[in-house]
Amino acid sequence: MDPREYEPEIREFGDPPDNPDEVVLVELKLTKVMQLYNTLDPAPFYEKELDPDAEEYIYSWFEEIPFDQKVRIIIYLPVELISHEVTENMRKAVKNHFLYLRGLAEHSLSVQMKRERKNMVIGILFLFLCLTISQHANEIFEQGSLAELIAESLIIIGWVALWRPVQFFLYDWWPVRKRRKLCRKIAETELIVTSQKAGI
């Protein structure tokens, strides 16, 4: 059997859940409806941006949960504030907000990809130029330690020019991709509004 079958799976969102059928609850306890929303946003409730603290709280919880784990968002409100309209507005607001963040992450990733691909081409051409000059340094400059220093410096400079695009394709694009996927999961997660007394 191929020994590679024994290699552990590399998972973007950490270890798989112990019980994928178990539902993990992300709970928010509010004393009033407007705590969920950005009060400076004049849009209707279901189109409103979420309060930055609420957004960060929800996102940080989802970051800690394995991606394959089932999740449910529970918002606790005083019973007198709960209605069908409030519940639907909160569901739409959370969904719309995180779909919007997903769109921003997707756009950011697309723009960065295009920019770094151009930078990669420029870096490769510059490296080729540096290597070419380095190989002929003894002919261009007088032979000796100065020519060797210039040749070695050009090689280093050429490789340094590739550092930024290489860093992006190896490391920097993964967090943006993760944010895009995580925002989509949050937007698709079931949300329940209930009273603090009743629980679930």
CB neighbourhood size of 113 (10 A): 14
pTM: 0.71
- In terms of Cα–Cα distance, which of 198, 114, 123, 189 is closest to 160? 123
Cα–Cα distance between 24 and 56 in angstroms, integer?
18
Beta bridge partners of 72: 25, 190
Assign 151 to helix, strand or coil: helix
* pLDDT score of 1: 38
Place of tokens 């081409």: 121
CA–CA gap between residue 36 and residue 13 (Å, rounded): 27
pLDDT along the chain (200 residues), means of 10: 38 60 89 84 63 92 90 93 92 93 91 89 87 74 70 81 84 86 94 71
The pLDDT, as a whole number, for residue 94 is 94
